Amino acid sequence: MNSYLLGTFRAKFPDATLETHAFRGDETVTIKKEALALAAAWLRDDLGFDFLMDLTAVDYLPREPRFELVCHLYSSKHNYRLRLKCPVGAEDPQVDSLTGVWSGANWFEREVYDMFGLKFRGHPDLRRILMYDGFEGYPLRKDYPLKKRQPRIAHRD
């Protein structure tokens, strides 16, 4: 599976594939963010990756591109796993939403938005999911001040 999946992906997206590697059965593809939604739909429709297990981000400050979006995919038909990653720069921290490919991306994307500040174009309801509406900043960014004081929220009766 390893070389077949990665080779097939590179052949399908030669200009968008930045890197592929496999280590101990762990296949990873890094792709340009502009091709993320198209590649995700192809992985679902043509290769049977029917389950988005997780979608998260990593902050690599001070590296640029600063962020990396990470998706863990699973094919229940073939029992394959794949990690799909894409770099996201700090100047324009947004990518296309994957909610049109996997509806389960909805809350994952909201969490990444809430914690890292990455925006998802085309998301049906992109708003905070863990922090309250008045919360300032993104707490999982490496430059978030640890002792930052937040505005108080009004008590509701």
Model pTM score: 0.90
Query: Is residue 1 over pLDDT 50?
Result: no
> Could you count the other beta carbons within 10 Å of the beta carbon of residue 14?
8
Give how far the C-alpha of residue 17 lies from the chain's centroid of Cα atoms, to the nearest Å.
16
The neighbouring-strand residues paired with 19 are 30
The size of the chain, in residues, is 157
114 found inside a domain: yes
Does residue 81 lie in a domain region? yes
CATH number reported for the structural domain that contains residue 93 in this entry: 3.30.460.80
Range of the domain at 28: 2-121
Kindly state the percentage of the chain with pLDDT values over 90. Answer: 80
Model confidence over 82-93: pLDDT tens digits?
999 999 999 999
Q: Is 150 a domain residue?
A: no
In total, how many domains does the chain have? 1
Residue 151 resides in a domain: no
Mean pLDDT of the chain: 93
Number of other residues whose CB lies within 10 A of the CB of residue 129: 16
Structure confidence at residue 153 (pLDDT):
72
The answer as to whether 93 is a domain residue is yes
